[in-house]
Amino acid sequence: MRVLLVRVSFVLGLLAAGLLAGCASATGSPTVPLASYAGILPAPVSASQTPDKRFDLESGSAVYAASSAAAPVADYLAGLLRPATGYAVPVVASAPSAPAIKLTLSGAPTVVGDEGYRLTVDPSGIVLSAQTAAGLFEGVQTLRQLLPSAIESRKAVQGAPWAVPAGTVTDYPRYAYRGASLDVARHFFDVADVERYIDDIARYKMDYLHLHLTDDQGWRIAVDGYPALTQIGASTEVGGGAGGYYTQAQYKEIVGYAASRYITVIPEIDMPGHVNAAESAYGDLTCDGKAPAPYAGTGTGFSTLCTNSPAVKTFVSTVLKQLAALTPGSYIDIGGDEAQATSASDYARFMTWAAAQVRADGKTPMGWDAITNAQTGSGAVAEYWETTDSATPAFKAAVAAGTKVVLAPANRTYLDQKYDQSTVLGLDWAGPIPLAQAYQWDPSTYLPGVPSAAVEGVEAAMWSETLTSVADLEYLAFPRLTAVAELGWSPAATHDLGAFERRLAAQAAHWAEAGIGFFRAPGVDWPRG
Ligand code: TNX
């Protein structure tokens, strides 16, 4: 590759000197390998590549936003293109004379719906059309995969010609819910870390970030009226580190950043278990009134709110109301997993009440699958994380009564599980999870007794007991995150492990340029690097 780049820069040098004007396009043979439509990940609904034709992004190329509603995505796209190309890439509001990338909210076929797009590339220009800005954004993720991988560099590079192979893509998602979760409680991740992970998941057209904001080891969001939650509850993490929390202003920044990537943040307050951090700050949340010491271990199932106490009700309703006000999306997650320290009857009564609080705040309750032991109302979402595919009778009954399902089977989608026995990071209670295991299942038929119409989508979960940096997250996420993303986006008819592995090989050069470290999973013909 280095040799190729040297050749490119040599040609560019000659071009700059006016010695070889038009050489690259006159020869018709780009020095940098052209991307392929077969490498688009997640696999699109349909794509066809036109042989021997391409669009070249050049120093005078503009992004043309055909309406003001398209302008934010046009700005985002130009921002992706400028660093590596070193070009000005202006965003313009009327049709430019030079070949351009046009983003428009008219002309897309209705079939693309509210998140899909159509992309048409030919030598005279690129047209990306959609019915919504979100659809344009997803189309931009496809377009960036069709550029040479050097486009991912944050510094100007000699990656030209910046060629996009000609062709057409028509694309839209299989599921409305394509989520990734991030546990910022076991180890704290700051705003910049979370924004980086948002960008990682946005590449693969995910649209929900589920933030696990509270657990035994840390409470990570400031709540007005409860200052000790952050003074004491946020003061540690697994292993005894300093922990941390988001002010409400910082949390809004995360929500806004995600929204600029057409991703909705779902806040999770885990209860009635997983609450030691809250109780370490406010002893009246426990039944004996005594605040436990902050906890820095990795155990689960030992803490519970005193579910019938007025102090707990006041606390929980205050927290949920403030979170609802910070949340533009419709879901508020009330956790509900591993509540072994709560009696079954207290659990059912309390979670039924908590779900009603969420409804009263104008939101839809979501939680782990055990919430189906409570009455959470039609349209609530239960996230299935068990390692078996036999849902409980209560789960099936809730689904029959209108509960929706997000599938996050721990032995498939838990990115915190090791890839194999030699993986240093991660847990292995539901694993190890090799790439093929993360990919080889069908969300629509996964749970017998749960009709496909109840399945809202899938989620890739990132628990952070063993993870302390973005590099750790990315190593466990790449490539398995993309398996879950593809299950969420691509039509079942495209599902094919071999083709998926070939798509991954095409992505790896982009990751390398973007500084995303990844596991070289066996089965994929990864580029040498
Ligand atoms: C199970 S999944 C948990 C989490 C852990 C995770 C580790 C779920 C709802 N609960 O508390 O962090 O396993 O893999």
- Structural domain contains residue 496: no
At residue 464, the pLDDT reads 98
Co-location of 56 and 191 in the same domain = no
Instruction: Give the tokens for residue 38.
Output: 């077969």
Instruction: Give the tokens for residue 491.
Output: 């039509």
- Structural domain contains residue 253: yes
Kind and range of the H or E element at 130?
Answer: strand 125-130
**Amino acid, single-letter form, for residue 310:** P
Co-location of 161 and 250 in the same domain = no
Co-location of 232 and 377 in the same domain = yes
**Domain boundary pick from 124, 147, 171:** 171
Residue 463 three-state SS: coil
- CB 342, CB 304: distance < 8 Å: yes
Among 238, 463, 473, the mutation site with the greatest number of ligand 1 atoms within 8 A of its Cβ is: 463
**Domain boundary pick from 154, 171, 188:** 171
At residue 521, the pLDDT reads 98
Query: Does the pLDDT value for residue 32 go beyond 90?
Result: no
Q: How many CB atoms lie within 10 A of CB 433?
A: 26
At residue 442, the pLDDT reads 98
Q: Kindly give the distance from the C-alpha atom of residue 463 to the centroid of ligand 1, in angstroms, as a whole number.
A: 7
Co-location of 84 and 165 in the same domain = yes
Co-location of 164 and 203 in the same domain = no
Give DSSP secondary structure letters for 411-444.
HHHBTTB-SSTT-SSSB-TT----HHHHHS--TT
What would the mean pLDDT of 320-346 be, rounded to a whole number?
Answer: 98
Q: What is the pLDDT of residues 104-113, one digit of tens each?
A: 999 999 999 9
| Higher pLDDT, residue 30 or 428 | 428
At residue 27, the pLDDT reads 40
Percent of the chain exceeding pLDDT 70 equals 94
Give the span between the Cα atoms of 93 and 144, in whole angstroms.
22
- Least confident interval from 14-28, 171-185, 508-522: 14-28
What would the mean pLDDT of 10-24 be, rounded to a whole number?
Answer: 30
Domain harbouring 241, CATH code: 3.20.20.80
Q: Kindly give the distance from the C-alpha atom of residue 335 to the centroid of ligand 1, in angstroms, as a whole number.
A: 11
Give the span between the Cα atoms of 485 and 161, in whole angstroms.
30
Q: Kindly give the distance from the C-alpha atom of residue 268 to the centroid of ligand 1, in angstroms, as a whole number.
A: 13
At residue 336, the pLDDT reads 98
At residue 31, the pLDDT reads 64
Co-location of 98 and 238 in the same domain = no
338 catalytic? Reply is yes
Co-location of 193 and 286 in the same domain = yes
What would the mean pLDDT of 345-354 be, rounded to a whole number?
Answer: 98
Closest-lying ligand 1 atom to the alpha carbon of residue 410: 2
Number of domains in the chain: 2
Among 337, 340, 465, the mutation site with the greatest number of ligand 1 atoms within 8 A of its Cβ is: 337
Using alpha carbons only, give the angle 410, 416, 419 rounded to the nearest 5 degrees.
90
Query: Does the pLDDT value for residue 4 go beyond 50?
Result: no
Atom 12, ligand 1: which residue's CA is nearest? 463
Co-location of 94 and 187 in the same domain = no
- Structural domain contains residue 84: yes
Q: How many CB atoms lie within 10 A of CB 392?
A: 14
**Domain boundary pick from 171, 188, 213:** 171
- CB 207, CB 331: distance < 8 Å: no
Instruction: Give the tokens for residue 431.
Output: 């694993």
- Least confident interval from 24-33, 285-294, 455-464: 24-33
What would the mean pLDDT of 46-57 be, rounded to a whole number?
Answer: 97
Q: Kindly give the distance from the C-alpha atom of residue 333 to the centroid of ligand 1, in angstroms, as a whole number.
A: 15
- Structural domain contains residue 440: yes
Query: Does the pLDDT value for residue 157 go beyond 70?
Result: yes
- CB 9, CB 455: distance < 8 Å: no
- Structural domain contains residue 435: yes
- CB 223, CB 322: distance < 8 Å: yes
Instruction: Give the tokens for residue 198.
Output: 């948002």
What would the mean pLDDT of 419-448 be, rounded to a whole number?
Answer: 98
- Is residue 403 very low, low, confident or very high in pLDDT (cuts 50, 70, 90)? very high
Co-location of 160 and 246 in the same domain = no
Q: What is the pLDDT of residues 435-447, one digit of tens each?
A: 999 999 999 999 9
466: which residues sit within 8 A by CB, 6+ positions away?
238, 416, 425, 426, 427, 472
Query: Does the pLDDT value for residue 2 go beyond 80?
Result: no
Q: What residue numbers bound the domain in which 363 lies?
A: 177-489
Query: Does the pLDDT value for residue 247 go beyond 60?
Result: yes
Co-location of 205 and 164 in the same domain = no
Q: Kindly give the distance from the C-alpha atom of residue 194 to the centroid of ligand 1, in angstroms, as a whole number.
A: 19
At residue 5, the pLDDT reads 33
Peptide bond into 83 cis (omega under 30): no
Co-location of 309 and 374 in the same domain = yes
Full 3-state SS string of 82-120: HHHHCCCCCEECCCCCCCEEEEECCCCCHHHCCCCEEEE
Atom 10, ligand 1: which residue's CA is nearest? 337
- Structural domain contains residue 524: no
Domain harbouring 142, CATH code: 3.30.379.10
At residue 80, the pLDDT reads 98
- Structural domain contains residue 313: yes
Closest-lying ligand 1 atom to the alpha carbon of residue 368: 9
At residue 7, the pLDDT reads 30
- CB 501, CB 138: distance < 8 Å: no
Instruction: Give the tokens for residue 197.
Output: 């992970």
- Structural domain contains residue 45: yes
| Higher pLDDT, residue 2 or 200 | 200
At residue 10, the pLDDT reads 29
Residue 78 three-state SS: helix
Give the span between the Cα atoms of 208 and 176, in whole angstroms.
10
Co-location of 253 and 376 in the same domain = yes
Atom 6, ligand 1: which residue's CA is nearest? 463
Atom 7, ligand 1: which residue's CA is nearest? 463
Using alpha carbons only, give the angle 211, 212, 215 rounded to the nearest 5 degrees.
160
- Is residue 160 very low, low, confident or very high in pLDDT (cuts 50, 70, 90)? confident
